[in-house]
């Protein structure tokens, strides 16, 4: 699985996804500073899963039109200490992701 971590997700979360085909952050992929619409266009066809902590993405974008899945990690803060436990929950639920759908992990 090819995974892209949004800029708002701690870079250190990459280590939680070892064993996946590809895990990059938005800066790793060369997409830093792009607005959501342009960012999602660049993600299309290159990644299977986009992980974010941006709670408003589902209201700002029509997720159903994109050919990759979305995961929203909802933690108390964006600190790695709060986010990292959610990665384990996500890995246990990877079978639930589908293109154009949002999976919320709390």
10 Å CB burial of residue 35 (0-12, 13-18, 19+) is exposed
- 69 membership: H or E segment, kind and range: strand 69-73
Ordered per-residue pLDDT tens for the chain, 106 residues: 999 999 999 999 999 998 888 999 999 999 999 988 999 999 999 999 999 999 999 999 999 999 999 999 999 999 999 999 999 999 999 999 999 999 999 9
Q: pTM to 2 decimals?
A: 0.95
Tell me the domain boundaries of the chain. 2-105
């Amino acid at each position: 699985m090819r995974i892209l971590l949004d800029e708002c997700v701690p870079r250190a979360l990459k280590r939680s996804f070892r064993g996946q085909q590809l895990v990059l952050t938005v800066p790793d992929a060369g997409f830093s500073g792009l607005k959501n619409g342009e960012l999602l266009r660049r993600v299309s066809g290159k990644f299977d899963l986009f992980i974010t902590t941006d709670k408003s993405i589902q209201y700002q974008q029509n997720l159903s039109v994109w050919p990759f899945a979305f995961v929203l990690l909802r933690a108390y803060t964006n600190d790695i200490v709060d986010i990292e436990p959610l990665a384990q929950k996500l890995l246990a639920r990877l079978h639930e992701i589908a293109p154009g759908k949002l999976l919320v992990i709390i």
